[in-house]
Amino acid sequence: MSDLNYETFSALLAQNKVLADAAEIQGLMCGMMAGGMSLTDRNWLPAIADMFNAGESFGAELSQALQSVFDEVVQQMLDSDFALVLMLPDDAAPINERGAALIAFVQGFMTGFGLHQNDLTACSDDVKEALEDFSEIVKMEDQMTEDEESEQALFEVQEYVRVSAMLCFNELGQSPLDDSEAPPTVH
């Protein structure tokens, strides 16, 4: 796992005047992959630059960090043990900060998913339900109180988002083998 966490990656994004935090960028990457983007496609970087950096390319340090996060997400998505780790603020951060980051992740996921998947007719009911739930999660505005009940509720929603993102990927995402299979040759 890279040494990038929510705080360091968000700080690097802010230093480079990128209008998103670590959670939203990771969510966007997860959504693109879950929507069926080729895992070897390198067009995701210009797409992120278009959305969050006015189309300007990123500097070397940020490009390297984005690549590192992307590679880590690919590995986590391909892991059969539901290994995705959401890039969210540390558990010691205020609950509303963590909740806002989770919403940013889901917004990013929905955007990335929509870039690569616009036909949900073949999706399972589970994926459709998850996407409907995600569209409700991004509308959440209520402030949470710093108590055990709110902590438990946030944990449950966070876990649901994590597992649902992987569910979408497992159903619609591509494996690296999809890219390496050459079409049959007709003689």
- The structural domains of the chain, ordered by start, are 6-176 (1.20.120.740)
Per-residue pLDDT, averaged over 34-62, amounts to: 88
pLDDT value, residue 4: 84
Q: Are the C-beta atoms of residues 135 and 58 closer than 8 Å to each other?
A: no
Q: How far apart are the first and last CA of the chain?
A: 47
pLDDT band at 181 (very low <50, low <70, confident <90, very high): very low
Lowest model confidence (mean pLDDT) among 19-33, 40-54, 58-72, 121-135: 40-54
Quote the CA–CA distance of 39 and 33 in Å, as a whole number: 7
Provide the token pair at 100: 């806002």
Helix, strand or coil, per DSSP, at residue 122: coil
Per the document, the length of the chain is 187
The pair phi, psi for residue 78, each rounded to 5°, is: -80, -20
Instruction: Reply yes or no on whether the pLDDT at 174 is more than 90.
Output: no
Residue 183 CA, chain-centre distance (Å), reads 30
- Which spans in the chain are helix H? 6-15, 22-34, 44-52, 60-78, 95-116, 125-137, 148-172, 176-180
pLDDT tier for residue 116 given thresholds of 50, 70 and 90: confident
Give this prediction's pTM. Answer: 0.90
Between CA 149 and CA 135 the distance in angstroms is 23
Q: Is the pLDDT of residue 183 over 90?
A: no
Mean pLDDT (whole number) for 146-156: 91
